[in-house]
Amino acid sequence: MQMPDVHSLQSRVEEARSWRHEFHRHPELLYDVHRTASRVAALLRGFGVDDCVTGLGRTGVVGVIRGRRGPGPVVALRAEMDALPIHEVSGLPYASLRDGVMHACGHDGHSAILLAASKYFSDTRDFHGTVVVVFQPAEEGGAGGKAMIEDGLLDRFGIEQVYGMHNLPGLPLGSFATRSGAMMAAVDEFDLVVHGKGGHAAWPHLTCDSLVAAAEIVISLQTAVARRIDPLDVAVLSITGISAGTAYNVIAPTARLCGTVRTLDDAVRNTMETSIRRIAGSVADAHGATVEIDYRRGYPATVTDPARTETVILAATAVAGAPNVESAMRPLMGGEDFAFMLGARAGGYVFVGNGQSSGLHTDTYDFSDDAIPYGIRYWIGLVMLTNGPAPG
């Protein structure tokens, strides 16, 4: 399989742009991606894929494309289909038609790029083994990738390697970034409910002020990172909400806190949960209050395989040139449910530059159409490397 140049892919790029704009106009949330999934499946079947399976992980879509050069590895390429509950104010001609829902993370672009690559693979089939294209729902907090795995994704199709791609605002167009090991963080959430004793604000000595205890917990929790985590390790703890009280002259009997923890290492993750429970409990007890703690572990850290990362670097370099490929980027503390797939199979992950766009998850964000040809050529180059040479 020869790496196509940009000009030979122009018609595919134009198709991908039109698909992206269509997806952008009709965003859908979490697992409720029925329109998008139906359209993806119809396109895959129109390309002539060997098999197209729908409803995996509730609303995921999988296409199977077998190469004409005989046996070889089974490699999965993944894109996401879901959008975010954000009201779009971009003013674009293809802006969201659904009030309060928009593609603010670029999943419209990721899906369009993988569709274009799928069509190319179906047309040429100039590779060994099998390419499995995976379009998943519910990446934005719903763990759709995990749901697809639990529904048999990896075993049913005999998947041996997994690869993901995401755009990154601020990374120049035509550039790529990756790293071996932990690329993105494990994401945990917690709720704390402090129980005290309410009363009249004029007689605080007759109460147990839950809000004062909660405020001290907020401050004390900062030591969970500063004094309990090795300075050479990484952890982020953010209190993102606090609520208590209903009137100016009433001391609240309960106060509620919520927050998130981000870590790159399981040992650090365990230490953070233990520290939060111990600190919150001790501070509440010092005030004569009690605290309920609901600590929920979310997406694990996104950890890439060293050998597969070398393949990612080679593919990106073939597309963009070595000066435009950052091979040891700093980890990001955002989360990504592709972590579940990487936890089950060896694989790699790459960021493709979105240029100087608005940030992810903002109401003016838009995936850059100019990134489309780089994404398509990257997927093609990756398959050339993973499925190109004859086995043995």
Active-site residue list? 82, 139
**Using an 8 Å Cβ cutoff, are 239 and 191 in contact?**
no
Q: How far apart are CA 98 and CA 87, in angstroms?
A: 8
Count of CB atoms situated within 10 Å of the CB of 112:
30
CA 89 from chain centre, in angstroms, equals 23
Q: How far apart are CA 88 and CA 106, in angstroms?
A: 13
For 238, the token pair is 């953010």
Q: Which of 59, 115, 114, 160 is nearest to 386 (CA)?
A: 160
Tokens 């790699």 belong to which residue? 348
- Core vs surface per residue 130-155: b (16+ CB within 10 A) or e: bbbbbbbbbbbbbbbbbbbbeeebbe
Q: Which residues contact 305 (CB under 8 A, 6 or more apart)?
A: 180, 342, 346, 347, 348
- Core vs surface per residue 71-104: b (16+ CB within 10 A) or e: ebbbbbbbbbbbbbebebebeeebebeeeebbbb
**Using an 8 Å Cβ cutoff, are 297 and 186 in contact?**
yes
325-326 and 176-177 beta bridge pairing: parallel
* Residue 282 DSSP label: H
Helix (H, G, I), strand (E, B) or coil at 41: helix
Strand order in the sheet with 74-80: 51-56, 60-66, 130-136, 74-80, 161-168, 346-353, 176-177, 325-326
